[in-house]
Structure 1
Amino acid sequence: MPPSLPVDDTAAPAAVVTRARYSLLALFTLMGMLFSSWLTRLPSLRVDLGIGSAELGALLIFGAVGALAAVLVTGTIVTRFGSRAVMLVATAGNLVGFGLIAAAAAAGDARLFVVGALINGMCGAGTNIPINLNAAVIEQHVGRAILPHFHAAFSIGAALGTLAGAAFSAAHVSAAVHITVISLVVALARFLLIPAASALQPPPLRHSASDDGAPRPRGGVALRTALAAWAEPRTVLIGLVVLAGSLSEGSAGNWLSIAVVDGFDEREAVGSLAYGTFIVSMTVFRILGARVIDRYGRVTVLRTSGIASLAGLMLFAFAPSLPLAWVGIVFWGFGAALGVPISIAAASDEPTRAAARVSVVTSFSSMAQLAAPPVLGLLVETIGGRYALGSIAIALLLSILLAGQVAPLRRESADDTTAGPADHDDAPRTSPPAADDPAASRR
């Protein structure tokens, strides 16, 4: 297993950076495939478990509870033990969690679903934080905005997962069989990719020597840094931007297919394709978004994205026909594409504190997952899926208002944990470009 190299090792070989980059892209793709594929079968799971939309929303909350519980400590654990170990454990946990959800569908047992969702939520946080941290590390090695590419890979995987879900559904394959097959294939691939994907690590805060002489962060330092991040106004406000983006993207994952099925009296396969359209829209703009961010800056792009997402969501909620609602889905997906990756990049501006800050902002994503399913489930029962989804417009307005917080940190304040954003959106980066990126070094 290759050793992990810290990000401040400027002599990191180009081959290591390239291998880590493409292995991590593959991991993001697999995670998108895994989590979107089973979400397309929520209508079937609702039937298999013999429950309604409100009850389904209540069950989904357990996944968010697990994620929130894990996300509060994952940053400290990653700082202490490294992202590789955390991702390997999370992969094994996801295999167990999805196995329980498949068993719940086969047996019609909501209790098994609850346990599986809880485990998956914990292991989702155990994957989400380290893969985003590794993506930020690789971006700092490359020296230009590439983090949206990783989220684009996730979206590509999600699109593939929704197509797989639609195919399984159209072929009348049970949700239990579908979830079992997907989770086994993805777990095997994750185990193979994690060593190379985690070959680059952020620099340690302070370390003591382990028995073999390798540097190891002191547990007390990691814990203090994790707690201090919660007192940083910029980090918390960026977390609110993540909350809005996660609420927009996550609500589409949980309820868009159901909103189309119930709101337009369509088949489950059509609902799956609607969610697939949302994912494809996000993917396209995430692929294009890196260059857009480099040209116009984080703040401008985030504000514009929020406006596009808000317009698309409103069109979907109030469109009188499915084709017009489909146009709204496209704009909603475009707007939802860059909020989370921009926020993760902003939280990672200072590499030595990136794990703690990414953990904090990611916890807001878990809060969104915790609050949204039961509230939206009740609204779906009361006013219908489309109008229920329209209610998240408030969060999108919040992200537009807070867009200024994602501006890059001032170089001279990079080492200050209370540093605010730069005075303008084109502030210099806190990390030099990689030696293997001539284009970046010319800037």
Structure 2
Amino acid sequence: MIEQPLTTPQLMDRHDVTRWRTAIFAVFGMSGVALASWLSRNPAIRTLLDASTAQMGWVVFGIAVGSITGLLGSSHLIARYRPRAVMFVCLLFVPVGLLAAALAAQLLGSIIAVVIGLAVFGAANGILDVSMNVSGAANERQLGRTVMPLFHAAFSVGTMVGAGLGALAEKAGLDVLTHVSIICVLVFGATFVVIRGVPDVGADAAPEPDAAKKGWRDRLAMWRDRRTLLIGLIVLGMAFAEGSANDWLALAMVDGHGVSNSGGALILGVFLGAMTVGRIVGVKVLDRFGRVPVLRVTAGLAVTGLLIVILVPSPAVAVAGVVLWGLGASLGFPVGMSAASDDPAVAAARTSAVATVGYLAFLAGPPLIGLLGEHTGLLHALLVVVGLIALAGVLAPAAREPEKSRGDLGVSP
């Protein structure tokens, strides 16, 4: 490629690498808290907007549109400004978008205004997603062992915290605007502390504006790369498994299994908890068995769990299905991000392309499931997700580890 590759220094002090890793954990966690804080209040937001199931699909669609827009430009921004600067700016805009959406929902009751606010949030979060994965993959290469699932576990912990706070807010009768405002202030303030631990990845090769411009064609060429597209389809299927739960599980449990609004939020927390456990355990499992068999097994778990939730009428048994669904969905996205970042010279471009394909699940999923749910019920609408998860399992070999070990860069003693 013409532009300077996003590489890390050949050897870093252990303290600096550990501080970097901790900072990336925090960034993933903050992203999760922000997202789940909004999604966990979907039942209350539906009431505020007096929206139908199909209309709620378009509300969630706002996040997806913003995310895709951000993802499409993310590799160019990272090549020009480096992941650290991009992360910092995006972390400031994430709460801005959420707060705008909350104001629109509670004070205006306008679906269009809510969608605009969520589009801002989605764009910032989409760019943040790529930049934190690129920086996390660089940190993983420095450590010389699998870490990416733990970063995504931090995201899951963040979503658990966000969902838990949402359930508490619902139970306490706290309005959406007050709840979201508190979260936004905390995320905004924490950004200035956390970003200090993130090094300027590629600082040994400073960004050059002309080189970045010339590199557009090289980055766009990633879309013709067969491995990139296959990894993207894996991430697409598993993103559907994860995203459909984030967007619809609380409402599906309320409408399909008759639980309360707070119960729906808590069951979303169960799903997110299962994902967190899967990602923590998955680090050792991946190092022992490799990506391909692990992806196949987890896809099978996700399909089984989702079918239980859809087909078994008992809410208690459905919760057991939610656990399997969460465990099965846990590793698809982080494994896809690691696979996309195997080659540091094209990590930003390939990660951006893979994430964009994956995020099509968040773009097409909400309105598709919402429209189907309007006619068949939300539970039966989720059957479309089953086929996409099965496809991800079939395509698992595309994510196979490179023959050369990732441990080339090691951490200094």
Tell whether the 8 Å contact from 2:67 to 2:125 is kept in structure 1 after alignment: yes
User: One-letter code of the match for 1:327?
Assistant: A
State which of 382, 399, 408 in structure 2 corresponds to 1:432.
Answer: 408
- Partner-residue secondary structure (3-state), 2:241: helix
Tell whether the 8 Å contact from 2:11 to 2:409 is kept in structure 1 after alignment: no
**Which aligned pairs between 1:390-401 and structure 2 lie closer than 5 A?**
390-401=383-394
| Corresponding residue number in structure 2 for 1:417 | none
Q: CA deviation at 1:225?
A: 2.5
- Work out the CA distance in 1 between the residues paired with 2:92 and 2:63: 16
Q: CA deviation at 1:436?
A: 3.8
- Partner-residue secondary structure (3-state), 2:31: helix
- Work out the CA distance in 2 between the residues paired with 1:366 and 1:232: 18
Q: CA deviation at 1:203?
A: 8.0
Kindly indicate whether residue 144 of structure 2 is the aligned counterpart of residue 152 of structure 1: no
- Partner-residue secondary structure (3-state), 2:208: strand
| Corresponding residue number in structure 2 for 1:382 | 375
| Corresponding residue number in structure 2 for 1:59 | 59
- Work out the CA distance in 2 between the residues paired with 1:141 and 1:22: 14
User: One-letter code of the match for 2:159?
Assistant: A
RCO comparison, higher one (Cα < 8 Å, 6+): 2
- Work out the CA distance in 1 between the residues paired with 2:9 and 2:246: 39
- Work out the CA distance in 1 between the residues paired with 2:145 and 2:409: 7
State which of 216, 222, 243 in structure 1 corresponds to 2:208.
Answer: 216
User: One-letter code of the match for 2:122?
Assistant: G
Q: CA deviation at 1:104?
A: 1.4
Tell whether the 8 Å contact from 2:36 to 2:163 is kept in structure 1 after alignment: yes
Deviates more, 1:382-391 or 1:159-168: 382-391
- Work out the CA distance in 2 between the residues paired with 1:192 and 1:237: 38
Q: CA deviation at 1:228?
A: 1.5
Cα deviations across residues 234-265 of structure 1 (Å, max 9, x unaligned)? Answer: 00110011111111111100100000011122
- Work out the CA distance in 1 between the residues paired with 2:114 and 2:314: 35
Q: CA deviation at 1:433?
A: 4.5
Cα deviations across residues 172-223 of structure 1 (Å, max 9, x unaligned)? Answer: 11111111111111121123212312x151588xx6xxxxxx5536123431
Tell whether the 8 Å contact from 1:316 to 1:326 is kept in structure 2 after alignment: yes
| Corresponding residue number in structure 1 for 2:242 | 249
- Work out the CA distance in 2 between the residues paired with 1:141 and 1:147: 12
- Work out the CA distance in 2 between the residues paired with 1:66 and 1:335: 27
Identity of aligned residues (%): 35
Cα RMSD over matched residues? 1.7
Kindly indicate whether residue 119 of structure 2 is the aligned counterpart of residue 118 of structure 1: yes
**Which aligned pairs between 1:25-424 and structure 2 lie closer than 5 A?**
25-107=25-107, 108-197=109-198, 199=199, 201-202=201-202, 214=206, 216=208, 218-409=211-402
Tell whether the 8 Å contact from 2:28 to 2:155 is kept in structure 1 after alignment: yes
Tell whether the 8 Å contact from 1:87 to 1:130 is kept in structure 2 after alignment: yes
Deviates more, 1:188-197 or 1:151-160: 188-197
User: One-letter code of the match for 1:434?
Assistant: G
| Corresponding residue number in structure 2 for 1:16 | 16
- Work out the CA distance in 2 between the residues paired with 1:6 and 1:307: 35
User: Mind listing any 5+ residue stretches in structure 2 that lack a counterpart?
Assistant: none
Aligned residues: 407
Tell whether the 8 Å contact from 1:6 to 1:200 is kept in structure 2 after alignment: no
- Partner-residue secondary structure (3-state), 1:201: coil
Q: CA deviation at 1:15?
A: 1.3
- Work out the CA distance in 2 between the residues paired with 1:344 and 1:109: 36
Tell whether the 8 Å contact from 1:98 to 1:183 is kept in structure 2 after alignment: yes
- Work out the CA distance in 1 between the residues paired with 2:99 and 2:88: 17
TM-score (norm 1): 0.89
Tell whether the 8 Å contact from 2:82 to 2:202 is kept in structure 1 after alignment: no
Tell whether the 8 Å contact from 2:290 to 2:401 is kept in structure 1 after alignment: no
- Work out the CA distance in 2 between the residues paired with 1:380 and 1:191: 42
- Work out the CA distance in 2 between the residues paired with 1:8 and 1:187: 28
- Work out the CA distance in 1 between the residues paired with 2:151 and 2:35: 16
TM-score (norm 2): 0.95
Tell whether the 8 Å contact from 1:48 to 1:105 is kept in structure 2 after alignment: yes
Q: CA deviation at 1:9?
A: 1.8
Tell whether the 8 Å contact from 2:103 to 2:177 is kept in structure 1 after alignment: yes
- Work out the CA distance in 2 between the residues paired with 1:161 and 1:59: 19
User: One-letter code of the match for 1:388?
Assistant: A
- Work out the CA distance in 2 between the residues paired with 1:72 and 1:154: 22
User: One-letter code of the match for 1:157?
Assistant: G
Q: CA deviation at 1:164?
A: 0.3
- Work out the CA distance in 2 between the residues paired with 1:110 and 1:215: 41
User: One-letter code of the match for 1:41?
Assistant: R
- Partner-residue secondary structure (3-state), 1:82: helix
- Work out the CA distance in 1 between the residues paired with 2:254 and 2:187: 28
Cα deviations across residues 290-330 of structure 1 (Å, max 9, x unaligned)? Answer: 11000000111011110111111101111120011011000
Q: CA deviation at 1:6?
A: 6.6
- Partner-residue secondary structure (3-state), 2:382: helix
- Work out the CA distance in 2 between the residues paired with 1:48 and 1:8: 48
